[in-house]
Amino acid sequence: DGGITQSPKYLFRKEGQNVTLSCEQNLNHDAMYWYRQDPGQGLRLIYYSQIVNDFQKGDIAEGYSVSREKKESFPLTVTSAQKNPTAFYLCASSISRVTGELFFGEGSRLTVL
Amino acid sequence: DQQVKQNSPSLSVQEGRISILNCDYTNSMFDYFLWYKKYPAEGPTFLISISSIKDKNEDGRFTVFLNKSAKHLSLHIVPSQPGDSAVYFCAASAVGGNQFYFGTGTSLTVIP
């Protein structure tokens, strides 16, 4: 069954801690994306990657970091520098840069205590 | 600056009637548009798309209309069903661009 797997689904973090959200896809897609959703707002792009070992900042990259060492994996680290990290995080992939549709994972909800 | 806008945060419709969800965009370079459906605490799922060379695309109960001159697209759901109750996002991308731009979503409630 092809798809995108995000983990963990729920995560709690103390202020000052870094946390890493996992995103794995077995769709053989080149492009992967991280979005953040806040109540009443659309999906805002954090980072995206079009090929392995390459990634670009999206609209709200400050306080986040990513890596793309393998085609299947695109983990997102929420650092202590992110001022307001409590949100719902969505990972997505697409066959190529912006053709076709985005396939989304189930999401990860991060709560900072 | 929001390049894709959904000005109606919510919409309520009786079961069996038509639901019309609207989306406006500002970037004339956008050439591909998509609609996604999202349930709470889940990832969005793709519904239907349209490219700028068309003005209509239909898939079962779902039809998307594109008015390029007005920079406006709409999603029609006929007939609406209670299971259609969800948040609907429109998204757009530009030729040669690197990302999809999403609207803020419209929460649809279909009343049985």
**Tens-of-pLDDT digits for all 112 residues of chain B?**
689 999 999 999 999 999 999 999 999 999 999 999 999 888 899 999 999 999 999 999 999 999 999 999 999 999 999 999 999 999 998 877 778 899 999 999 999 9
Q: Which residue has the higher pLDDT, A40 or A53?
A: A53
Min Cα–Cα distance to chain B from A81, Å: 24
- Count CB atoms within 10 A of the CB of residue A3: 14
* Rounded-to-10 torsion of CA A22, A11, A102, B95: -90
- Can you tell me the mean pLDDT for A100-107? 88
Whether A104 sits inside 8 A of B41 (CB atoms) is no
State the pLDDT confidence band at A98, using cuts at 50, 70 and 90.
low
A45 contact B CB<8A:
yes
Q: How far is CA B102 from the centre of its chain?
A: 10
Nearest by Cα to B91 from B49, B28, B29, B39: B49
State the pLDDT confidence band at A97, using cuts at 50, 70 and 90.
low
Nearest chain B residue to A107 by CA: give it: B43
Question: Residues of A with CB below 8 A from B44's CB?
Answer: 43, 90, 102, 104
In this predicted structure, what is the pLDDT of residue B100? 87
Taking a C-beta distance cutoff of 8 angstroms, is the pair B81, B69 a contact?
A: no
Compute φ and ψ for A62, nearest 5 degrees: -60, 130
Question: Residues of A with CB below 8 A from B98's CB?
Answer: 48, 50, 56, 97-98
Taking a C-beta distance cutoff of 8 angstroms, is the pair A111, A11 a contact?
A: yes
